[in-house]
Amino acid sequence: MPSPALDSRRSLDGMMTRLHRLACAALLLAVIPGHPAQALPEVTLWVIQPPGQLVAFDLSDFSRVGGVRIPAAAFNEPDRISINAHGQILARLDDDHLWLWDGTKEATLPTAPKAGGAPDSTSRKWLLANDGRSLIVLERSSRDARGPAPDTAGSSLRMSETDLSGRFRKQIFSTHLKPCRRPLRLVAFANPCPEPSLWAPGGTVRDCAVLTYWEQLPAVFADAPPQATFHRTRCLRNGRGWKFGALAAERWSEPLLDMNADGSAWMQAVDDNGCCGWMNGSSNQTTFSIHDSSEVVFDEWAMFDNQNFNFSFYTDDARIAPGSRRVALSVLSTSWPDPPHDVSLDRHVDSLQFSAMRATRANLPIVMVVDTRPKRTEILRVPNAELIGWASDSEILVLMNGRLVGIDVLTGHRRPSDIRLRSAADAFVVWR
Amino acid sequence: MSPGSRPPGPHPTIGPLVHLLAATVTACLWCLPALAVQAPRSSRSVITYFVARNVHGKRVVEWRIFDPASRVDTLFATVGAKNVNWDTSGTSVEYVAGGQLLRLQWEWGAQPWPILQLPAGGLTDCWFNPDSSCWQAAAVGGVPRNYSSNEPPYAQCHSELWESDRDGHNWRIIGADTSSCGGCYFCETWSLSGNPAIRRKPSAGLKQLQNAMTADAWGGPPEPTWPPDGGPQGPPDWYFIPFRTIPKKGLDLRIGTRNGVRVVRAPFFLMDLRRGTAKELETPYMRQEDWQLGFEERDGFLLVTGLRTYVFDLRTGELIFSPPEVVVQGAAWINPPAPPSVDKPGLQRLRQRFR
């Protein structure tokens, strides 16, 4: 029969063993940062703040979560910054360096990784992926050792996924580009063949990125010069890899303003075709496209009746709301002509129109919110505000009087914050 | 293993306790809110100065910090700052650049943040009024008259006192004064300094720091003396100024007045009374006579600043620093910038949020 002392000892040993297991489990939970039990936040507001930080705020009450010190180049030029839903930050410092905050530590990476990379005559564009473990790079390498020259030399184009240190992981897409020969290259003002580009909203690749490059078409006739055409390709990503498809209803010369996560909805600005001293040759428009249908959500002339004036209103920025039911636009204008009544010879502007236009311009920038379904309806117009993004499907964030403000687009209720910004570009709304 | 023997390693009851302690400490590091940690600020003073340089054919103004103790000269920021004012705690500095008032945390790596847009050109100063919680600014300019080549361009000088609203977005003039200058080329004197609407939040301005640097009030009381060995004869008269931080040593220099203005004449001699020696200080490119030289001694070093700037080690008399370029606004002693602050609790919260 065991003695009471031995029983007590066994009981103590058992307790210590249980404690040991508990401690090990606690230790594991504490040190493993990627524990899957915790879900990523639905949305986070990131704002550049002094003395040199990018600070995360909780959008429910604008409370400060915490900040990461960022390089001066990123602080002073926020458009160099991309942020993903994992709280990772990529900043393009200069032609040769990237800066990355991987959620735990910072690192400066070369834009041209040595191991496994293409030769030095390669141009690269880096984007941040939203999966928390990847970067996406578009590389264009020329056979000509002097570097890529799109009009004269053939080159190869490769889109790849790397790890967060820039190490090659897998190829997404590659093609060979022939020298770009444009049929209209002798036309005055014709743009040269552009560099291929890879775009994603905010520089962060979610389920879709837009790859743009020139592709040479064969000559129509045997003795005719070859033609060049412009292709914008939509990259779709699903669980089994990347798929490609043409972006429907696109106009190749117009930039995309925003796109939803899976690339099924996007916004594009159709710019003015004015030239030669006349700034307002056509009505600037902004289109919203979803599932192969497209509608105009902003039409300059219809909205401001300024076709007789030598300046244009245009969409500077646009954001699609979560759910893609609403869009918000930030409207600016080109500079007021000098003298201001400088209109074309065959047009006439009366003083009433003139003062109305002055009043409109005093309200710039204007943020507009448009319901796109069941039909286009403007539901909110906020004067003297800059658009930041959507805090929810019914609340936009704007910059007014130097501070960040939330506005309910249905009720107009304003939710002011104490967050000061230099401009709307200082703030990033990052959705999961 | 014999009965009673124990396997090597920690006692079986100690192992779990160690792990429990480690887990507790680690968990606390993750979970406990902690105060923002800032590295302790060195009490050793440094020298702040602005210098204009030609970089790739472009003129840039660099804000630099020289630490005499380590003899390290470091670029702090690239900005042509005017109206530089530190707050009384020395944690932030405000300055004017590009028509804006900017604030900068006084720490390494900090970036400026715009506070407000200033209302007009010709502003000579701006400050915060704690009574009205508004910003105020002084402007002065000349009122032109019919110009003839033989006459100064201005007949009058016009001074304005501006005040912003609380947000700093809109400005208005709350005081103005025009007075005859009897024909002048420049209007520098702002005539509204006695306006009762003016109140300034206390601060330490670079200009104030420099104005406080005189030729004869930086050390012990000046004592008339003979010219040192190898030193030229007066006028002006030679004085010995004892150092405050190093006993039995001081500086011999000539101080006098010219046209009612106090002037200092080079050369300067480091005098060691204990050893009875005199050493001429090296002052390259210094004008022999200067009316705007300021002197200040700290921590065994002497800063001499005017058009050119010099820093001497008073123990040896060695010139340890002199920027090759003309210093834009003179130099001054200041507490060193703090190391870059790290928001440790914020980083912990960030890691928890995105785990």
Q: How confident is the model over A80-135, as pLDDT tens digits?
A: 999 999 999 999 999 899 999 999 999 999 998 764 555 567 889 999 999 999 99
DSSP A226-295: PEEEEEEEEEEEETTEEEEEE-TT--TTSPEEEE-TTSSEEEEEE-----TT-S-SS--EEEEEETTEEE
Name the closest residue on chain B to residue A20, using Cα atoms. B16
CB B321 within 8 A of CB B311: yes
Residues of A with Cβ-Cβ distance to B114 under 8 angstroms: 422
CB within 8 Å of chain A, chain B residues 168-197 = 169
* Largest Cα–Cα separation, chain A: 116
Find the helix or strand (DSSP H, E) in which A67 lies: strand A63-69
For tokens 């690192």, the residue is: A107
Determine the pLDDT at residue A249.
Answer: 43
Average pLDDT on A52-65 reads 97
Name the closest residue on chain A to residue B345, using Cα atoms. A66
CB A54 within 8 A of CB A67: yes
Sorting pLDDT into bands at 50, 70 and 90, what band is A175? confident
Q: Which of A8, A58, A69 should we substitute to test contact with B (largest number of B Cβ atoms within 10 Å)?
A: A69
Query: What is the average pLDDT value for chain B, to the nearest integer?
Result: 84
Sorting pLDDT into bands at 50, 70 and 90, what band is A344? low
A75 part of contact set with chain B, CB < 8 Å: yes
Determine the pLDDT at residue B25.
Answer: 41
The beta-carbon neighbor of A31 closest among B26, B103, B354 is B26
B350 part of contact set with chain A, CB < 8 Å: yes
Determine the pLDDT at residue B92.
Answer: 96
Sorting pLDDT into bands at 50, 70 and 90, what band is B69? very high
Average pLDDT on A361-383 reads 94
Sorting pLDDT into bands at 50, 70 and 90, what band is A246? low
Mark yes or no for CB contact A30/B23 under 8 Å. Answer: yes
Residues of B with Cβ-Cβ distance to A31 under 8 angstroms: 26
Query: What is the average pLDDT value for chain A, to the nearest integer?
Result: 81
Instruction: Report the alpha-carbon distance of residue B99 to residue A145 in Å, rounded.
Output: 47
pLDDT over threshold 80, residue A384: yes
CB A182 within 8 A of CB A190: yes
- How many of the other CB atoms lie within 10 Å of CB of B203? 16
What does the H/E/C string look like for A348-360? CCCHHHHHHHHHH
Mark yes or no for CB contact B111/A76 under 8 Å. Answer: yes
Instruction: Give the distance from residue A52's alpha carbon to the nearest chain B alpha carbon, in angstroms.
Output: 5
Mark yes or no for CB contact B351/A103 under 8 Å. Answer: yes
pLDDT over threshold 90, residue B276: yes
CB within 8 Å of chain B, chain A residues 41-60 = 41, 44, 50-53, 55-56
Instruction: Give the distance from residue A399's alpha carbon to the nearest chain B alpha carbon, in angstroms.
Output: 14
pLDDT over threshold 70, residue B26: no
Average pLDDT on A178-194 reads 58
Mark yes or no for CB contact B27/A20 under 8 Å. Answer: no
Determine the pLDDT at residue A243.
Answer: 73
Mark yes or no for CB contact B350/A27 under 8 Å. Answer: no
Average pLDDT on B335-351 reads 93
Average pLDDT on B234-240 reads 88
B28 part of contact set with chain A, CB < 8 Å: no
Determine the pLDDT at residue B1.
Answer: 35
B4 part of contact set with chain A, CB < 8 Å: no
- How many of the other CB atoms lie within 10 Å of CB of A71? 19
A312 part of contact set with chain B, CB < 8 Å: no
pLDDT over threshold 60, residue A35: no
pLDDT over threshold 70, residue B216: yes
Name the closest residue on chain B to residue A64, using Cα atoms. B346
B297-308 exposure pattern, b = at least 16 Cβ within 10 A, e = fewer = bbebbbbbbbeb
Name the closest residue on chain A to residue B92, using Cα atoms. A51
Sorting pLDDT into bands at 50, 70 and 90, what band is B321? very high
> Could you tell me what percent of chain A has a pLDDT over 90?
50
The beta-carbon neighbor of B354 closest among A27, A69, A86 is A86
CB A68 within 8 A of CB A74: no
ipTM over the 0.85 cut-off = no
Q: How confident is the model over A302-333, as pLDDT tens digits?
A: 999 888 888 899 999 999 999 999 999 999 99
Q: Which of A307, A313, A326, A299 is nearest to A396 (CA)?
A: A326
Find the helix or strand (DSSP H, E) in which A127 lies: strand A122-129
Sign of CA dihedral A409, A414, A420, A422: positive
Range from A6-20, A257-271, A333-347, A363-377 that averages highest in pLDDT: A363-377
B26 part of contact set with chain A, CB < 8 Å: yes
B114 part of contact set with chain A, CB < 8 Å: yes
pLDDT over threshold 80, residue A79: yes
B256-275 exposure pattern, b = at least 16 Cβ within 10 A, e = fewer = beeeeeebbbbbbbbbeeee
B345 part of contact set with chain A, CB < 8 Å: yes
Mark yes or no for CB contact B111/A26 under 8 Å. Answer: no
CB B61 within 8 A of CB B79: yes
pLDDT over threshold 60, residue B164: yes
Determine the pLDDT at residue A252.
Answer: 53
CB within 8 Å of chain B, chain A residues 146-205 = none
Instruction: Give the distance from residue A58's alpha carbon to the nearest chain B alpha carbon, in angstroms.
Output: 10
Q: Checking DSSP bridges between strand A155-162 and strand A168-177, what pairing results, if any? A: antiparallel
Residues of A with Cβ-Cβ distance to B16 under 8 angstroms: 16-17, 19-20, 23
CB A69 within 8 A of CB A53: yes
Higher pLDDT, A410 or B155: A410
Instruction: Report the alpha-carbon distance of residue B320 to residue A271 in Å, rounded.
Output: 61
Instruction: Give the distance from residue B343's alpha carbon to the nearest chain A alpha carbon, in angstroms.
Output: 7
Determine the pLDDT at residue A263.
Answer: 84
Q: Which of B281, B295, B294, B298 is nearest to B244 (CA)?
A: B298
A6 part of contact set with chain B, CB < 8 Å: no
Higher pLDDT, A179 or A171: A171
Mark yes or no for CB contact A19/B16 under 8 Å. Answer: yes
Q: Which residues pair with residue B294 across a beta bridge?
A: B305
Find the helix or strand (DSSP H, E) in which B253 lies: strand B249-258
Counting every residue written for chain B, the total comes to 355
Mark yes or no for CB contact A87/B350 under 8 Å. Answer: yes
> Could you tell me what percent of chain B has a pLDDT over 70?
86
CB A193 within 8 A of CB A228: yes
Chain A, chain B: beta-carbon pairs less than 8 Å apart: 110
For tokens 């030729």, the residue is: B215
Average pLDDT on B63-92 reads 93
Q: Which of A59-68, B254-263, B274-283 has the lowest mean pLDDT?
A: B254-263
CB A123 within 8 A of CB A148: yes
Mark yes or no for CB contact A51/B12 under 8 Å. Answer: no
Determine the pLDDT at residue B33.
Answer: 33
Determine the pLDDT at residue B301.
Answer: 95
Higher pLDDT, B292 or B348: B348
CB B330 within 8 A of CB B294: yes
pLDDT over threshold 80, residue A183: no
Higher pLDDT, A414 or A18: A414
What pTM was estimated for this model as a whole?
Answer: 0.82
Mark yes or no for CB contact B343/A66 under 8 Å. Answer: yes
Q: How confident is the model over B90-114, as pLDDT tens digits?
A: 999 999 998 899 999 999 999 999 9
pLDDT over threshold 70, residue B330: yes
Determine the pLDDT at residue A195.
Answer: 77
Instruction: Give the distance from residue B203's alpha carbon to the nearest chain A alpha carbon, in angstroms.
Output: 20
A336-372 exposure pattern, b = at least 16 Cβ within 10 A, e = fewer = ebeeeeebeeeeebeeeeeeebeebbeeebbbbbbbb
